[in-house]
Structure 1
Amino acid sequence: MDLPSGVSADLQEVLIDTVGSETWIRFRFIAPKIARDSDSAPDFAMLEPDFSHLCVNLAVPYLQNYELEPDKVVISMSDRAVKFGLSDPDATQYFEQFRVEKGDCIWEGF
């Protein structure tokens, strides 16, 4: 998927988990061009609109299609595949959190 920043991202996986008493759905994307060791890597400010774009254009239709109503939606981008819950100090990773109301994504910073 091409994003507003000009970066391309591929969906790695969708995970549903429970955090406390809430249901969170995580949409995890791989975007190799965000690697911090690249001379042309965009900074987070350039990528920020991509998170809302992914939420509105991919997460919301997914939730509607599967009739899911999570408390939180987390969109993450990584320059490489990293197993969920594990750390990779060489990986560049960014995360944003949203709640979905009436088909719209409302940002809720961590």
Structure 2
Amino acid sequence: MAQEEIALPSGSTVTYHDFIWGEPGPAGLTIRFRFLDPELHGRKDAEGVIDATEDTQYLCEFFALERIASTGPQPKQIVISISDRPVEFGEPDPDVTQIFEAYSYRDGTCIWEMF
């Protein structure tokens, strides 16, 4: 079954891949939401940088927050990642283009953290 495309503020689209719950992060309980964008590599600028901060903020606020339970343990951190193809969690793959952004989860909001 094909995943629904999610339109991003940049004009790109991603599909939801999965989420990882139960792998601790540096801030404590962390939920990771992973997305796929096969065209991610093409978003690099002349210096090889992909600026997707607006897109990851959007995914945190309008996708992740809706999926965090209001009861039970609450995460301290939400990580949004986008890759050009699926990759096993925790397994390095130098051929995969990936970006990650971390957000503190406080008072039901996403607060961007610089890595």
- How far does residue 78 in structure 1 lie from its aligned partner after superposition? 0.1
> For residue 8 of structure 2, what is the aligned residue in structure 1?
3
User: What are structure 2's unaligned runs of at least 5 residues?
Assistant: 1-5, 45-49
Q: Structure 2: which amino acid aligns with 1:6?
A: G
- How far does residue 42 in structure 1 lie from its aligned partner after superposition? 1.6
SS in 1 for 2:24: strand
Structure 1 runs (4+) deviating above 3 angstroms are 64-68
How far apart are the structure 1 equivalents of 2:101 and 2:82? 9
User: What are structure 1's unaligned runs of at least 5 residues?
Assistant: 36-40
Give the structure with the larger helix fraction. Answer: 1
How far apart are the structure 2 equivalents of 1:79 and 1:23? 26
How far apart are the structure 2 equivalents of 1:33 and 1:10? 12
Equivalent of 1:27, from 30, 33, 37? Answer: 33
Note closer, same or farther for the CA distance 1:5–1:90 as it changes in structure 2 (3 Å cut): same
Q: Structure 1: which amino acid aligns with 2:37?
A: A
Note closer, same or farther for the CA distance 1:61–1:82 as it changes in structure 2 (3 Å cut): same
Q: What TM-score comes out, normalization by structure 2 length?
A: 0.82
- How far does residue 20 in structure 1 lie from its aligned partner after superposition? 5.8
Q: What TM-score comes out, normalization by structure 1 length?
A: 0.85
Percent identity of equivalent pairs? 36
